Amino acid sequence: NPTVLKNESWKFPSGFFWGVASAAYQIEGAAQAEGRGPSVWDVFTHRSTSITVNNDTGDVGCNEYYMYKQDIARIAALGVPYYSFSISWSRVFPYGKGPVNELALQHYDDLIETCLQYGVKPVVTLFHWDLPLFLQNEYGGWLSEEIVGDFVAYAKVVFGRYGNKVSHWFTMNEPIVFCDEYPYPKNYFSAVTIAEADQKYFCGHHVLLAHAEAYRLGKSLGLNGTIAFKNNGGYKIPLTNSTDDALAVQRAWDFNEGWFANPVYLNGDYPKYLKDYVSTLGLEFTADQKALINGTADLFAHDAYTSSFYMAPDGGVAACLANSSNSLYPGCFNTTNVNPDGWNIGPAADIYTPWLNQATDWVPLFLRYIQDTWPSAGGIAVSEFGWAEPFEHLKTTKVDILYDPGRMMYYKNYMEAILIAISEGVNVVGCLAWAIMDNLEWADGYLPKFGVQYVNLTTFERSYKASFFTYIDAFKVYAEDPVVPVYV
């Protein structure tokens, strides 16, 4: 029985917010509908040398743009209380800025009203990677500080329109991912004069300023929902107890989570090891900018899928730092999923998703690390977690597809891990399972399956997978609040 946990007195406290998540480009489709402008992802998926698996695109996606009423009804019928989705910037502003597209705003009006009608609280992300193409072409997108004003103008329209109907706002999804790959998707947009390896740090700098300005705007408008951004990354376990591995682990935190978390949660500034490097690029915040950025999140939202071992590069950290042509420079840390005895850190996910292992044993330590390192009065939300079932993309019969024991195990163990963390005093306030349904997994196309629902990409019929019930059962058994199915 997947819902029997270790200690039945453990509880998700009253008010714990939980649900399922999606992102606009991955599910909406309707790429040409109702005045939507192109985003960088439309170009990427349509280029002649497309890098997406099978030349897959988001043109039609899961057809969610036309099926959202059914999608909301389907989750409400299981008692899911929160739905996290993103708004497409290039629907609202087809050119990224300038004229507002009223049809797009009406679409999201109805999406949000439908949620509320079904008792499902909307959780909204403003930017989940689908940058309006016009802004990339005009000034290099996130590489230019010009984007700060355009992002805030977009935030102003969305905040103004949907205001207090949204319980939790996220400004950005995973800047580590989209800046790391900048210009995301990589190797397409010829960019400016900044060395390719350094572009991500310029992106990150402008993300922090844009996030902070949007947060301050939201507060000045008196929004009653929380505002934060979605950070991401796995737990980092030293491969050995050597001092060089310990140093490499700290460098890895600084170059990943700390890149965005230190400025927002600690002091408005970059963490030490990252700062050493980015200051050589002239990326330093003024005193006013530090004051602007510091404290601009109401909770710590982390997309916390997995864990990995981290270690010093071959030859050691110091030698790597002395050699800027080392492939691991400037981070100078390395990572592996296999420990020195040859054991994998946990079962591997789909072969298209090599960064993901089922390593839920570390989740309580991970959540404690976040709480101790970047304290947030609003607690921690696991804003995404999920599993790409091995070989699920090869299944052909519906019976096989809907039985997903790997994902059932992942959610069962993960929910147990959150309960352990809560029982040990970590303030975990919510979690959002990725994803509401199988969808476009970016450059990997529709092959990896992260959904708790299957989507037939020909008929667009949706079907619940077994793991969806495992996830919900955790709340039926262990939540102080009842799970209430809603039918309208």
Q: Would you name the residues annotated as active-site residues? A: 174, 384
Spatial distance between the Cα atoms of 452 and 434, rounded to a whole number of angstroms: 8
Closer of 295 and 406 to ligand PNW (Cβ)? 406
What is the Cα gyration radius of the chain? 21
The count of C-alpha atoms lying within 13 angstroms of the C-alpha of 88, restricted to the half-sphere facing its C-beta, is 35
Closer of 234 and 406 to ligand PNW (Cβ)? 234
29 token code pair: 């489709």
Spatial distance between the Cα atoms of 455 and 84, rounded to a whole number of angstroms: 18
Closer of 18 and 446 to ligand PNW (Cβ)? 446
Q: In what order do the strands lie in the sheet with 334-336?
A: 235-238, 307-311, 334-336
Output the DSSP codes for 220-251: HTT--SEEEEEEE--EEEESSS-HHHHHHHHH
**Residue 20 CA: distances (Å) to CA of 17, 209, 252, 254, 273:** 10, 29, 29, 29, 35
38 token code pair: 């192109």
CB of 348 to ligand PNW, least distance (A): 14
DSSP character at residue 181 = T
- Cβ neighbors of 123 (< 8 A, separation 6 or more) are 17, 19, 21, 82, 83, 84, 85, 166, 167, 168, 169, 170, 432
Closer of 439 and 470 to ligand PNW (Cβ)? 439
Q: Which residue lies nearest ligand PNW, judged by its C-beta?
A: 355
CB of 232 to ligand PNW, least distance (A): 5
Closer of 59 and 480 to ligand PNW (Cβ)? 59
146 token code pair: 């010009």
3-state secondary structure of 237: strand
Residues 182/142, Cβ–Cβ less than 8 Å: yes
CB of 370 to ligand PNW, least distance (A): 15
266 token code pair: 């600690």
- Closest to 105 (Cα-Cα) out of 53, 36, 39: 36
Residues 335/309, Cβ–Cβ less than 8 Å: yes
Tokens 């209380």 appear where? Answer: 81
**Residue 233 CA: distances (Å) to CA of 18, 86, 340, 360:** 20, 20, 22, 14
CB of 354 to ligand PNW, least distance (A): 9
Closer of 177 and 194 to ligand PNW (Cβ)? 177
CB of 355 to ligand PNW, least distance (A): 4
Closer of 144 and 232 to ligand PNW (Cβ)? 232
CB of 434 to ligand PNW, least distance (A): 5
Point out which residues bind ligand PNW (CB under 6 A). Answer: 23, 26, 173-174, 177, 232, 234, 303, 305, 355, 384, 434, 441, 450
Closer of 144 and 360 to ligand PNW (Cβ)? 360
CB of 482 to ligand PNW, least distance (A): 30
CB of 450 to ligand PNW, least distance (A): 5
Strands 235-238 and 307-311, sheet pairing:
parallel
Tokens 């102003």 appear where? Answer: 156
